[in-house]
């Protein structure tokens, strides 16, 4: 029996994935390819883009006073807050992995900040950091320390944004919990019989077995951190003191939709994109030395 | 201390150890959610409440009126409805389209499926701002600026992360199910809707929750596309309210709480799925 055209796997397969294919072509391929051209234009958004070669990039690297501080802030934000979030998330997951009264409530409380809308939590933190009567300074005063200008001091502004990111450590915690629970208990029993201390078992058994989870979170965490937008836009509106919180993604938004300088914004988009690819490649290259897969046959 | 000592002594102090761990977690979790509790305090206090030193933790009279006053200022009912409609449509679009794509890639052996799978996963790495600007101009050119369409339409073309989840889940389902259904004369559409998807209700529920949450929280897209305040969802309305706070922090915090409320309800109602769904991520790691 010969199948008709509409019954062939190839045709049916593509019909099923058609939404994804269209989405890929329009929301990924087209923007990527067209933005190579747009990055080399002067374009206000209303006029026709005018080709100017590499001038946008030249301006970015040599003239724009916001670019280098912003790039520095973007990289610092990602390479500090993401690993710190992983360590804290794992520590919390370890604490919450064994039974204890109210363990479910604890897990829920730690996960709660992750669920809340980021606009709502950012505005909440705006108030926490308020210098006169904000919560952060109330705590400092209560323990006898000097109040701090959290968001308007270039030494603390970026750190203040990182604290908000770490407040969402529950998302790391919950994924690590899943990872810890998938470690079979007989491995620990074997380690105990071999006389391994808890400390030793943690580094020799637990850590190796959850490295795939760790790695997955490192990659997704980095990609997410490089795209931070809401926090600087709500908390430090103009990129903070001395552009100390001028994160790239926010700077792109400002140049495009507030400055009407779309060509330049797209040039910055390329810098962000290359940055993400670079960090991902570094992570993947180094992963072979620390990520352990149980069935390495793939 | 050597390893042997630790193994021998570890059983006795288990009670005090648990107590310390419990207290530690208690302090830590309270400090974690303290800002949210504090927010509730402000939302319930009078206009001068938060200026008091030392601050009052429990206001001596509750100003429930703040919720009504704040809600009036942002036309809460209207904006809430906007958010609800947008989030529901986006959720339906993302989940249904991703189920199709995920099923297609996992269960139909067609040429090029591996390539497409990698293209979909790869596109997760693309910063959303890369597509935002070029796509913005396409939507603007066809007259859809300042409408909901640029936010709603993309949802129907699959969500790369959901496609990934579906593919991982459906690849693990034994093929004998398909074969049995095929013998009964079912085609792929029937196998998917009658056999495979009903087997994966936890996955579907997880996607519904994540999608609704993501859409409810989305800020950048509505900020860019919607000029008309009448079309704003809560995220943009709340953010713009925060810019104009003046002395009405208590009203603002009340609105902020109202904005969080649906997600809180969803979270507590579907806690099991939140925990399960994200836990299943581990088994589908980037291998």
| pLDDT tens sequence across A205-221 | 888 888 888 998 999 99
Confidence (pLDDT) at B4: 44
User: A68-91: per-residue pLDDT in tens?
Assistant: 999 999 999 999 999 999 999 999
Is B101–A178 a contact, with Cβ atoms under 8 angstroms apart? no
Closest by CA position to B6, among listed A134, A77, A243, A196: A196
Helical ranges in chain B per DSSP H: 3-9, 14-44, 65-73, 76-107, 113-122, 128-141, 149-152, 160-171, 176-183, 188-190, 197-199, 201-217, 220-225, 234-243, 249-269, 271-279
Identify whether the C-beta of residue B271 lies closer than 8 Å to the C-beta of residue A168. no
| Closest partner CB to A19 (pick from B113, B135, B156) | B156
Q: In chain A, which residues have their Cβ closer than 8 Å to the Cβ of B124?
A: 223
State chain A's mean pLDDT as an integer: 90
User: B90-108: per-residue pLDDT in tens?
Assistant: 999 999 999 999 999 999 9
Q: In chain B, which residues have their Cβ closer than 8 Å to the Cβ of A88?
A: none
Residue A204 pLDDT class (50, 70, 90 cuts): confident
Q: In chain A, which residues have their Cβ closer than 8 Å to the Cβ of B119?
A: 24, 28
Confidence (pLDDT) at B49: 57
Give the mean model confidence (pLDDT) for residues B127-155.
94
Those of residues 173-202 in A touching chain B at CB distance below 8 A are 174-175, 177-179, 181-182, 192, 195-200
Give the mean model confidence (pLDDT) for residues B58-66.
79
| Closest partner CB to A117 (pick from B42, B108, B263) | B263
Over 50: is that where the pLDDT of B5 sits? no
Over 60: is that where the pLDDT of A283 sits? yes
Confidence (pLDDT) at A294: 59
Over 50: is that where the pLDDT of B9 sits? no
Identify whether the C-beta of residue A133 lies closer than 8 Å to the C-beta of residue A127. no
Give the mean model confidence (pLDDT) for residues B135-150.
95
Residue A179 pLDDT class (50, 70, 90 cuts): confident
- Kindly identify which residue of chain A lies nearest to residue B52, measuring between CA atoms: A133
CA distance A232 to A253: 11
| Closest partner CB to B260 (pick from A15, A117, A269) | A117
| Closest partner CB to A298 (pick from B22, B279, B287) | B287
Residue A98 pLDDT class (50, 70, 90 cuts): confident
Over 90: is that where the pLDDT of A289 sits? no
Over 90: is that where the pLDDT of B60 sits? no
Give the mean model confidence (pLDDT) for residues B60-67.
82
Over 90: is that where the pLDDT of A189 sits? no
User: B228-248: per-residue pLDDT in tens?
Assistant: 999 999 999 999 887 665 557
Of all residues in chain A, the percent with pLDDT exceeding 70 is 97
Residue A287 pLDDT class (50, 70, 90 cuts): confident
Give the mean model confidence (pLDDT) for residues B210-222.
95
Q: In chain A, which residues have their Cβ closer than 8 Å to the Cβ of B156?
A: 19
ipTM: 0.88
Full-model pTM: 0.88
Residue A34 pLDDT class (50, 70, 90 cuts): very high
3-state secondary structure of B221: helix
Which stretch, A82-91, B7-16, B67-76, has highest mean pLDDT?
A82-91
Structure-derived torsion over alpha carbons of residues A116, A117, A122, A124, reported in degrees to the nearest 10: -60
CA B71 to chain centre: 24
CA distance A45 to A49: 8
Confidence (pLDDT) at B41: 86
Give the mean model confidence (pLDDT) for residues B71-99.
95
């Amino acid at each position: 029996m010969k199948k008709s055209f509409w019954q062939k796997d190839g045709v049916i397969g593509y019909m099923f994935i058609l939404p994804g294919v269209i989405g890929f072509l329009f929301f990924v391929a087209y923007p990527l390819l067209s933005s190579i051209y747009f990055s080399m234009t002067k374009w206000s958004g209303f006029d026709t883009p005018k080709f100017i070669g590499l001038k946008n990039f030249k301006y970015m690297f040599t003239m724009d006073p916001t670019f280098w501080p912003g790039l520095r802030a973007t990289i610092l934000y990602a390479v500090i807050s993401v690993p710190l979030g992983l360590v804290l998330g794992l520590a919390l997951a370890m604490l919450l992995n064994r039974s204890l009264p109210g363990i479910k409530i604890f897990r829920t409380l730690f996960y709660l900040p992750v669920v809340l809308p980021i606009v709502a939590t950012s505005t909440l933190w705006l108030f926490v950091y308020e210098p006169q009567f904000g919560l952060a300074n109330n705590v400092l005063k209560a323990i006898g320390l000097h109040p701090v200008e959290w968001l308007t001091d270039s030494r603390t502004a970026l750190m203040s944004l990182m604290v908000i990111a770490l407040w969402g450590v529950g998302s790391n915690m919950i994924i690590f919990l899943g990872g810890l629970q998938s470690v079979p208990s007989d491995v620990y029993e074997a380690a105990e019989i071999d006389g391994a201390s808890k400390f030793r078992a943690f580094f020799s058994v637990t850590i190796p077995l959850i490295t795939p989870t760790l790695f997955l979170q490192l990659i997704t965490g980095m990609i997410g951190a490089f795209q931070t937008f809401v926090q600087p836009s709500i908390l430090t509106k103009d990129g903070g003191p001395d552009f100390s919180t001028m994160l790239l993604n926010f700077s792109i938004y400002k140049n495009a939709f507030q400055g009407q300088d779309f060509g330049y914004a797209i040039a910055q988009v390329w810098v962000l994109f290359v940055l993400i690819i670079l960090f991902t490649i570094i992570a993947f290259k180094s992963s072979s030395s620390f990520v352990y897969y149980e069935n390495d046959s793939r | 201390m050597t390893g042997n000592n630790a193994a021998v002594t570890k059983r006795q102090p288990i009670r005090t150890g648990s107590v310390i761990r419990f207290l530690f977690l208690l302090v830590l979790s309270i400090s974690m959610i303290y800002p949210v509790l504090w927010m509730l305090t402000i939302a319930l206090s009078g206009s001068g409440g938060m200026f008091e030193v030392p601050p009052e933790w429990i206001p001596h009279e509750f100003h429930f009126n703040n919720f009504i006053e704040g809600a009036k200022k942002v036309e809460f009912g209207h904006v809430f409805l906007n958010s609800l409609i947008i989030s529901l449509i986006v959720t339906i679009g993302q989940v249904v389209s991703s189920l199709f794509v995920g099923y297609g890639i996992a269960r139909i052996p067609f040429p090029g499926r591996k390539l497409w799978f990698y293209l979909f996963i790869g596109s997760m790495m693309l910063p959303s701002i890369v597509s935002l600007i070029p796509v913005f101009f396409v939507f603007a050119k066809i007259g859809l600026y300042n409408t909901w369409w640029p936010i709603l339409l993309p949802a129907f073309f699959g969500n790369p992360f959901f496609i990934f989840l579906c593919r991982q889940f459906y690849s693990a389902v034994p093929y004998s199910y398909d074969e049995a259904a095929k013998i009964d004369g079912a085609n792929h559409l029937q196998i998917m809707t009658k056999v495979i998807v009903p087997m994966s209700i936890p996955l579907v529920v997880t996607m519904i929750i994540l999608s609704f949450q993501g859409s409810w929280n989305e800020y950048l897209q509505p900020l860019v596309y919607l000029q008309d305040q009448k079309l704003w969802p809560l995220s943009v309305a709340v953010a713009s309210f925060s810019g104009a706070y003046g002395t009405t922090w208590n009203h603002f915090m009340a609105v902020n709480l109202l904005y969080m409320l649906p997600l809180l309800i969803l979270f507590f109602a579907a806690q099991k799925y939140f925990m399960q769904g994200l836990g299943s991520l581990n088994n589908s790691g980037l291998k």
